Chain A
Amino acid sequence: MRKHLTVLSVFLLCVSLCSELSAASSRKKYFSKPQIGLWYGPITPLFETNEHLDPNLGGGGFFRYNLPYAPLKIGLESSYQYYDSEGVAEMRLIPVYTNLLWLIPIDLPIRFQLKAGAGLCKVRVEPDDINQWDPMFMAGTEISFPAGKIANIALRLDYLCVYEEHLKGATQNGHFFNAGISLYFNLNL
């Protein structure tokens, strides 16, 4: 019985994908609209930052607007990220950045976007009691597909670098990886 259900599920998925392929042109239209959305998922420190902070779950929101050149969009993003540690140290990040998104021109039912951006990151550290803004850079990718006419679902993978090496005495930057499932909506602006 279980085997039959699995075969049926795969079949329905294939049918669904085929029907999505036939609707590729209409999806392209959706992509050309401004979008607003939310994401939620695992966040983790990388490299040397990983030695001091533990992974957690985080989330954020974003807004994207079209540019005259169709495969490109500009986005404004922010999120809230809280990292605990083995000890009493804890860090809160609020990255605020703009990024440029490039839709890879491959006409598939699933869309691939690459993105890169820069901005500022609010960094709060306890018990050191440090609260400041640092410059930051990001790069990432997003795999998305439409879920109806107004909604889209995506898997996003972002790398964030909170840059501090320009500061006196600094030997390290902050490195973070954000993965998340996002839900975003097409706007008729």
Chain B
Amino acid sequence: MNFRKIYLLLLIIILSSLSCGKDPVFTEMSTNRLTIRLKGTFETGGVSNFASMDSQGVNASPFQDDSVDEVTAGTNDVKPTTLMLDIAEIRLSGKKISNYRQVLEIPIGDNTHPFFNGEGIELKTDDPGDGYYDSVQFYIRKMVFDNAKVYQSTGSGFVYEKDSTVIFHENTRNGLDVNQLMVNSYWDSLRLEQSEIIRVFPMVIPIVGGMTYNRENDETVLEIRLVIKNFIKKYEYDYYEDGVYKVCHYYGPSDWLRDVRAGETDIGRNLHGVARSYVEGQTGSISVSPGAGNRYVVAIPSTDDISEYGISATGVSLRTTVGNSDLPLPPSYPGAYIDAVLDYYLKYEKYKNDWNTKATGLTVDLYEAAWDTYEDEVHGDKSYGLKIPPYIGFSSSGASVFFPDMTPGSYKFYYCEYNPATTTNYGKLFLVSEFIILNSGNPVNIIAGTNAGF
């Protein structure tokens, strides 16, 4: 080997350094250009205008779900006051952008809290690479509503025993983790991997309109909304402890989409979410006058069909379409009380008769087809579940609705009649037929830096 070869190699390395990279990666690492904001309202900005949970009776429908059948008048039941979220991870179109453990304790009744006042809680994240992303995978490790109560059977009835407790953020807290129950009744329980299925781990949330991330932009905002405020119901969870039959009254998202029936412990994938994205400083706005009355105004990309944002019939109606494949559930064994056990055997005979009646002529193929049809109705596009419109505002008594920070593009506008004072509206979203087109069906172009209106 001679020295000239080595000098030549050195020269090549120095010369090739002239064609180095263009991205200041170490500066980028200390810069956060993606902001994720988490909100708990149906509305895009501002507080919830749904029928208020505060005005609901704790033991009355619709706040108490019709699946509560063992203890219909819980003597110690009180409404939840705190929502606890343990967020494990966030991904964008499958790409991991945050694995920071983020634990949130949100006072449900506080409308000034960022989770409920339209601002959003900022979540810690790293920046993704440049590219287009169409979904968020939101890994919720635990989701706990407090004030869960346990009642135990006495043979002739139920008495309050204790508050239900759960380990949350390494501490024992009062409440019940509803994540473990967010599976689809009859469906997930038949799978081999049933013990591993939780529909919110991850919860797949569509980014309506997509998100194009470019690190040239100083700040890109990704807003995630979970429909929680004024969308909570009381459920009942049946179990045995030391041979004693017990029920736990707990709280979870409304079963408006996937109806939970009496005796069922799974509450389905009833947590609804949507995400939208915009680049700070590159947004437009619009003022919409939807007409007289109390109305929700929604905007969706003009390329979307409104049928993606609602269901054709109520969740209860859709459940009935399952027909004979929706087989009855066996009664719960009441524990070591002779009168109750005798009742149980009577109920069990009735259950067997009902089951045999329904199952007559039922085959595995028919069963599968019926639940497939149901799933298609409630599943939504690309496993998202129900799609929530990206822009939602409320017009009280005909007032105009203002949408700031809209991503430039073409949008269609709709309204839905909604009276927050109507108690029966509690815990409900909208059917496709309730969306009424605005602006004569003409899409509106939102242009950055300008304010549109109609």
A residues at B contact (CB < 8 Å): 34, 48-49, 51-53, 65, 67-68, 74, 76, 85-89, 91, 96-98, 118-120, 123, 125-135, 162, 164, 167-174, 189
Kindly report which residue of chain B lies nearest to residue A97, judged by CB atoms.
B13
Q: Which of A51, A129, A135 contacts B30 (CB 8 A)?
A: A51
Q: State in angstroms the CA–CA spacing of A65 and B97 once bound together.
A: 45
* Contact A174 B13, beta carbon cutoff 8 Å: no
B20: Cβ under 8 A from any A Cβ: yes
Query: How distant is B51 from chain A, measured CB to nearest CB, in Å?
Result: 40
- Residues from chain A with Cβ under 8 Å of B19 in the complex: 133
Cβ–Cβ contact B96 & A125, under 8 A: no
Q: Does B26 contact A (CB under 8 A)?
A: yes
The answer to the question of B352 belonging to the interface, with a C-beta cut-off of 8 Å to chain A, is no
Return the contact of A164 from the options B25, B100, B124 (Cβ within 8 A): B25
Q: Which residues of B contact A130 (CB under 8 A)?
A: 21, 23, 25, 28, 129
How far apart sit A125 and B29, CA to CA, in the bound complex (Å)?
A: 9
The contact sample of 12 A-B pairs, CB cut-off 8 A, is A65-B6, A87-B124, A87-B125, A127-B95, A127-B96, A127-B127, A130-B21, A130-B129, A134-B21, A167-B21, A171-B27, A189-B1
Q: Assess whether B6 is in contact with A128, with CB atoms less than 8 Å apart.
A: no
A131 to B128, CA, bound (A): 14
Contacts A48-B30, A65-B6, A97-B13 given; indicate if A164 touches B24 (C-beta within 8 A).
Answer: yes
Cα–Cα, bound, A152→B24 (Å): 39
Is the beta-carbon distance between B98 and A167 smaller than 8 angstroms?
Answer: no
Q: A68-B3, A133-B16, A133-B19 are in contact. List 16 more A-B contacts (CB 8 A).
A: A34-B1, A65-B3, A86-B100, A87-B99, A89-B29, A89-B126, A98-B9, A120-B16, A123-B21, A125-B25, A127-B95, A127-B126, A129-B129, A132-B25, A134-B21, A164-B27
- Which residue, of A34, A119, A128, A168, has the highest number of chain B Cβ atoms within 10 A? A128
B20 near A125: Cβ-Cβ < 8 Å: no
Nearest-neighbour CB distance to chain A for B103, whole angstroms, equals: 16
- Given the complex, which residues of B lie within 8 Å of A127, measured CB to CB? 95-97, 126-129
Q: Contacts A87-B98, A98-B9, A120-B20 hold; do A170 and B27 have CB atoms under 8 A apart?
A: yes
* B interface list, Cβ under 8 A from A: 1, 3, 6, 9-10, 13-14, 16-17, 19-30, 95-100, 124-131, 215
Assess whether B25 is in contact with A128, with CB atoms less than 8 Å apart.
yes
For B17, the chain A residues whose CB sits under 8 A away are: 119-120, 133, 135
**A49-B10 in contact (CB<8A):** no
> In the bound complex, do residue B1 and residue A164 qualify as a contact, i.e. CB atoms below 8 Å apart?
no
On whether the beta carbons of A167 and B30 are closer than 8 Å, the reply is no
Q: How far, in angstroms, from A88 to B19 measured CA to CA in the complex?
A: 29
Q: Which 3 residue pairs across A and B have the least CB separation, nearest first?
A: A132-B21, A129-B129, A170-B24
* Contact residues in B for A49 (Cβ distance below 8 Å): 26, 29
Query: For residue B1, which residue of chain A has the nearest CB?
Result: A189
Is B129 a contact of A169 with CB atoms below 8 Å?
Answer: no
Residues on A with beta carbons closer than 8 Å to the beta carbon of B3: 65, 67-68
Q: Chain B nearest CB: distance from A160 CB in Å?
A: 12
